[in-house]
Amino acid sequence: MCRRPFRNDSERQSFKNRLETLVKTTKNTEDENLQGLQEDLDNARAASTSYDTWVRLSQTDVPDLEKEEEQHDSQRDQLLANMENHDKV
């Protein structure tokens, strides 16, 4: 609290009331800021999970599946060519 002397108790009480109001206002503002930061953190965590999944799919799973698809396409083309050769005979 302020160390200066007050003229009377009502002046001291008025100062105390203003100070308490200021503290409450500041606390409420900080609570709102904290809530906003918590929401931002939750969103970042959710995005992190989605991003990790995307990285795994784009760098590992999708290229492997594309390679497998190419192998199957090649095998299909070879089998079709064999069938055409058998049909000619």
Q: How do residues 9-48 score in pLDDT, each as one tens digit?
A: 888 888 899 999 999 999 999 999 999 999 999 999 999 9
Averaged pLDDT score across all residues of the chain: 91
End-to-end CA distance of the chain: 106
- pLDDT value for 23: 95
Secondary structure of residue 14 in the 3-state scheme = helix
Q: How do residues 55-88 score in pLDDT, each as one tens digit?
A: 999 999 999 999 999 999 999 999 999 999 988 8
Looking at residue 80, its amino acid is L
What's the pTM value of the predicted model, to 2 decimals?
A: 0.47
Q: Are 11 and 17 in contact (CB under 8 A)?
A: no
CB-based burial label for 15 (10 Å; 0-12, 13-18, 19+): middle
Rounded to an integer, what distance in angstroms lies between the CA atom of residue 20 and that of residue 58? 56
